[in-house]
């Protein structure tokens, strides 16, 4: 690895999945697969969560919510989510989120909520039906954009992957954050202003009837539920035209081809399209699609079945993710509580311990983090993210995560044992004579300033 790295700022990306249903093929192609691919990028710090508080807005069937939480968690894990790299947790396991939601509720104008698309749609439907405008509207439905803002702002996400219909909610989160920063900040920007990330290249699969694949339309193809036979039977129901085998078919007008194209390499998709143009029968085409999908899905389905049989294993993974997330949320909510006046009692006019601390240090109470990831060859690396979200160092490659974890623990527990070697104005870090990591390019501040900053950040681990 080159001593100079091209990226010093890591982007935190956050997305949640509402736990009210069972993931289907469209969810995998449109959300799960691209999110997992994104989480494997070296400059992304990914936060994925089960939005189970949001589920209560849409669903009052407790058993359905419980089952969906398990199925969605198992699906993401079976699909290859690396929980050593990404932070994966249940929204309901982070008590600081609803607390922040209430604090933000107290500073969010009602007029902002009145403009929310979901609320306006409910009011319009009620008026069309001749009933009271707010008939059936719960406070959860009305104010859930604030809870969504709390999900995002608690971890100061830079990017939030959403569909076009969700852009308004990110804009509302920005507005809520700006209001809080302005009113309580006094020069301190508590919240990063998030940006919506809309990827127009992400596949949107048609369902069995040609409309967007959705549980609402009852036109989905199962992902892991059922067997290979169930998958093929669902594919057999895909709507096609009435052209017989031997008659040319237009792949651009084919829902079946749209699904096929989303799961294979371009060259293979073009070969399939050519076979359709040359008269490939729909029955044979559906078998070919089923075979392609089964090749991809079968290993993941096997892992999914194993996970579903061991819910306690899923629970352990989610709780470990929540513990990692709370290392950020717990100190941050204390900072927010302090800002709004929820402070420990003291004599009026005297300085609180927090005021004294603010005078002696301007640092945030946020903590630095080590983030693990795989390199292009499948080996394991890690990077150190500072309290300001800046990448300070990146490790060399290790053959397995256990060795990488041992080196992380050594850096955390004994910074004094680090051997620094200056090479081309950048420090290399060794432990026991072995190269462990290399400094990110800090030519703007100088190597010695970078070294001091690194040691300061590492000292925060032993202070926890």
Dihedral sign for Cα 277, 279, 280, 286, please: positive
Q: Give the pLDDT of residue 289.
A: 97
217 falls within a domain = no
Q: Are strands 380-385 and 369-374 parallel, antiparallel or unpaired?
A: antiparallel
Cα angle value 128/129/132 (rounded, 5°): 95
Count up the domains in the chain and report the number. 3
pLDDT at 343 over 70: yes
- Whether 386 and 276 map to the same domain: the answer is no
**Binding-site residue positions for L-tryptophan:** 151
- Give the other-Cβ count within 10 Å of 322's Cβ: 20
Please name which of 417, 461, 455 lies closest in space to residue 436, comparing C-alpha atoms: 417
208 falls within a domain = no
- Whether 297 and 423 map to the same domain: the answer is no
Please name which of 28, 145, 17 lies closest in space to residue 89, comparing C-alpha atoms: 17
pLDDT at 411 over 50: yes
pLDDT category of residue 377 using cuts at 50, 70 and 90: confident
Give 30 or 354, the one with higher predicted confidence: 30
The Cα 329–Cα 227 span in angstroms is 41
250 falls within a domain = yes
Q: Is residue 121 classed exposed, middle or buried when 0-12, 13-18 and 19+ CB atoms within 10 A define those classes?
A: exposed
Q: Give the pLDDT of residue 6.
A: 36
pLDDT at 274 over 50: yes
pLDDT category of residue 423 using cuts at 50, 70 and 90: confident
pLDDT at 443 over 60: no
356 falls within a domain = no
Q: Are 79 and 32 in contact (CB under 8 A)?
A: yes
Percent of the chain scoring above 90 in pLDDT: 71
**How is residue 30 written in tokens?**
């449109």
**Binding-site residue positions:** 18-20, 26-27, 151, 163-165, 205, 212-216
- Whether 72 and 189 map to the same domain: the answer is yes
Cα-Cα-Cα-Cα torsion 254, 259, 261, 262, nearest 10 degrees, comes to: 150
Region 330-346 average pLDDT: 91
Q: Give the pLDDT of residue 349.
A: 55
Q: Give the pLDDT of residue 464.
A: 56
- Whether 173 and 253 map to the same domain: the answer is no
What CATH number should be reported for the domain holding residue 248?
A: 1.10.240.10
The Cα 403–Cα 114 span in angstroms is 53
51 falls within a domain = yes
**How is residue 320 written in tokens?**
């470990």
pLDDT category of residue 426 using cuts at 50, 70 and 90: confident
Contacts of 349 (CB under 8 A, 6+ apart): none
The Cα 285–Cα 251 span in angstroms is 11
CA distances from 319 to 18, 187, 322, 372 (A): 18, 35, 5, 18
27 falls within a domain = yes
- Whether 60 and 162 map to the same domain: the answer is yes
Q: Give the pLDDT of residue 366.
A: 66
**Binding-site residue positions for ATP:** 18-20, 26-27, 163-165, 205, 212-216
- Whether 130 and 275 map to the same domain: the answer is no
- Whether 323 and 286 map to the same domain: the answer is no
Structure letter (DSSP) for residue 24: B
57 falls within a domain = yes
- Whether 318 and 299 map to the same domain: the answer is no
- Whether 181 and 52 map to the same domain: the answer is yes
- Whether 151 and 288 map to the same domain: the answer is no
- Whether 36 and 142 map to the same domain: the answer is yes
CA distances from 443 to 103, 184, 281, 427, 447 (A): 41, 35, 63, 11, 7
Q: Give the pLDDT of residue 371.
A: 87
- Whether 329 and 268 map to the same domain: the answer is no
What CATH number should be reported for the domain holding residue 418?
A: 2.30.29.80
- Give the other-Cβ count within 10 Å of 314's Cβ: 19
Q: Give the pLDDT of residue 3.
A: 30
What CATH number should be reported for the domain holding residue 189?
A: 3.40.50.620
pLDDT category of residue 355 using cuts at 50, 70 and 90: low
Full domain range(s) for residue 76: 11-203+310-339
Tell me the per-residue pLDDT of 67-114, one tens digit each, with 9 for 90 and over. Answer: 999 999 999 999 999 999 999 999 999 999 999 999 999 999 999 999
**How is residue 283 written in tokens?**
């029955």
Average pLDDT, the chain: 89
270 falls within a domain = yes
Tell me the per-residue pLDDT of 213-272, one tens digit each, with 9 for 90 and over. Answer: 988 889 999 999 889 999 999 999 999 999 999 999 999 999 999 999 999 999 999 999
Percent of the chain scoring above 70 in pLDDT: 92
pLDDT category of residue 33 using cuts at 50, 70 and 90: very high
């Amino acid at each position: 690895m080159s001593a100079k790295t091209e990226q010093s700022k890591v982007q935190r990306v956050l997305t949640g999945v509402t736990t009210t249903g069972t993931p289907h093929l469209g969810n995998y192609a449109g959300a799960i697969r691209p999110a997992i691919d994104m989480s494997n990028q070296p400059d992304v710090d990914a936060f994925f969560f089960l939005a189970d508080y949001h589920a209560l807005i849409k669903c009052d069937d407790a058993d359905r919510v419980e089952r969906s939480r398990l199925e969605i968690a198992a699906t993401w894990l079976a699909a290859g989510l690396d929980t050593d790299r990404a932070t994966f947790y249940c929204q309901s396991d982070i008590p600081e989120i609803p607390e922040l939601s209430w604090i933000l509720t107290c500073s969010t104008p009602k007029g902002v909520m009145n403009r929310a698309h979901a609320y306006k749609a409910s009011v319009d439907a009620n008026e069309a039906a001749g009933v009271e405008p707010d008939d059936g509207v719960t406070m959860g439905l009305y104010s859930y954009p604030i809870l969504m803002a709390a999900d995002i702002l608690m971890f100061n996400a830079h990017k939030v992957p959403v569909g076009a219909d969700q852009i308004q909610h990110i804009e509302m989160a920005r507005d809520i954050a700006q209001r809080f920063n302005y009113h309580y900040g006094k020069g301190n920007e508590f919240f990063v202003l998030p940006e919506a990330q809309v990827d127009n290249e992400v596949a949107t699969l048609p369902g069995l009837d040609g409309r967007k694949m959705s549980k609402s339309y009852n036109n989905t193809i199962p992902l892991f539920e059922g067997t290979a036979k169930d998958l093929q039977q669902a594919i057999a129901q895909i709507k096609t035209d009435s052209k017989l085998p031997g008659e040319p078919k237009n792949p651009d007008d084919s829902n079946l081809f749209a699904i096929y194209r989303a799961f294979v390499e371009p060259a293979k998709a073009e070969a399939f399209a050519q076979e359709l143009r040359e008269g490939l029968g729909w029955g044979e085409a559906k078998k070919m699609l089923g075979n392609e999908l089964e090749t991809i899905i079968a290993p993941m389905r096997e892992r999914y079945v194993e996970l579903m049989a061991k819910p306690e294993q899923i629970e352990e993974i989610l709780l470990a993710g929540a513990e990692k997330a709370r290392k950020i949320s717990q100190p941050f909510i204390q900072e927010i509580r302090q800002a709004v006046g929820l402070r420990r009692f003291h004599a009026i006019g005297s300085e609180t311990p927090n005021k004294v601390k603010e005078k002696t240090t301007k640092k945030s109470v946020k903590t630095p983090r080590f983030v693990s990831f795989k390199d292009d060859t499948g080996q394991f690396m890690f990077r150190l993210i500072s309290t300001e979200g800046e990448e300070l160092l990146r490790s060399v490659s290790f053959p397995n995560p256990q060795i990488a974890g041992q080196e992380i623990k050594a850096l955390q527990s004994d910074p004094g044992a680090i051997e620094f070697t200056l090479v081309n104005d950048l420090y290399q870090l060794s432990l026991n004579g072995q190269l462990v990591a290399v400094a990110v390019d800090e030519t703007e501040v100088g190597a010695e300033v970078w070294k001091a900053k690194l040691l300061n950040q590492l000292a925060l681990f032993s202070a926890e």
